[in-house]
């Protein structure tokens, strides 16, 4: 069913879980992966150190992509990588991921989600939500943490 699966990754635990899930799915489906990492300019307003910080982010993203590609390879899944450098403040990570998924073209896009709600969601936004809104194809969200259900105690 899926032959080309794009996975948006960063250095978070949530993205790592999404990657593992995508590798398993790609192995089952005999699909190819494209691993995408977006490097943005957030927090680079410290003028004297902008170049050094940017270079460090690029280096870290490349290392993450190599490590992720090795994980896929160890599971007998073919994967290529794409580093996307965000240029300017008018772009959003979700838009760049969706644009890459459409251009590649992906049969499925996999991203992790923190499942934030309320104020933290409003403040931080959600790349996953943006991908869902903008994508014309299927999107698989992988939750970073398992929600614990409250159990009612009888007789309390």
For residues 55 and 77, what is the distance between their CA atoms, to the nearest angstrom?
Answer: 30
Q: What is the pLDDT of residues 27-86, one digit of tens each?
A: 999 999 999 999 987 666 666 677 888 889 999 999 999 999 999 999 999 999 999 998
Q: 33 pairs with which residues across the strands?
A: 5, 79
d(CA 71, CA 22): 11
Whether omega before 105 lies within 30 degrees of 0, making that bond cis, reads: yes
Find the mean pLDDT for residues 95-103. Answer: 96
Q: Check residue 119 and give its pLDDT.
A: 44
Q: Per-residue pLDDT tens for 126-152?
A: 888 899 999 999 999 998 765 444 445
**% helix, strand, coil for the chain, step of 5:** 45, 20, 35
Residue 21: is it exposed, middle or buried by C-beta count within 10 angstroms (0-12/13-18/19+)?
A: middle
Span 7-26, average pLDDT? 95
List, in order of start, the domains of the chain with CATH numbers: 4-141 (3.40.50.620)
Calculate the CA 3 to chain-centre distance.
19
Interhelix angle 13-29/50-74, rounded to 10 degrees, is: 30
Buried b (16+ CB within 10 A) or exposed e, 115-148: ebeeeeeeeeebbbebbbebbeeebbbbebeeee
Q: Which residue has the higher pLDDT, 93 or 124?
A: 93
CA dist 46 and 22 (Å) reads 36
Which pLDDT does position 98 carry in this prediction? 97
- Average per-residue pLDDT in the chain? 85
Q: Is the overall model pTM greater than 0.85, yes or no?
A: no
- DSSP class of residue 153 equals P
What is the model's pLDDT at position 51? 81
């Amino acid at each position: 069913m899926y032959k080309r699966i794009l996975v948006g990754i960063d250095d978070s635990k949530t993205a790592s879980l999404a990657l593992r899930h995508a590798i398993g799915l790609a192995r089952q489906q005999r699909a190819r992966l494209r691993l995408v990492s977006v490097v943005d300019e957030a927090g680079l307003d410290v003028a004297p150190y902008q170049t050094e910080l940017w270079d460090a982010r690029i280096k870290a993203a490349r290392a993450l992509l190599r490590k992720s590609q090795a994980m896929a390879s160890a599971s007998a899944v073919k994967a290529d990588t794409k580093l996307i450098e965000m240029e300017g403040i008018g772009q959003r990570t979700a838009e760049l991921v969706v644009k890459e998924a459409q251009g590649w073209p992906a049969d499925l896009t996999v991203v992790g989600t923190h499942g934030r709600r309320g104020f933290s969601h409003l403040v931080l936004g959600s790349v996953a939500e943006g991908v869902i809104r903008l994508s014309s194809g299927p999107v698989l969200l992988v939750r970073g943490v398992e929600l614990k259900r409250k159990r009612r105690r009888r007789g309390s």
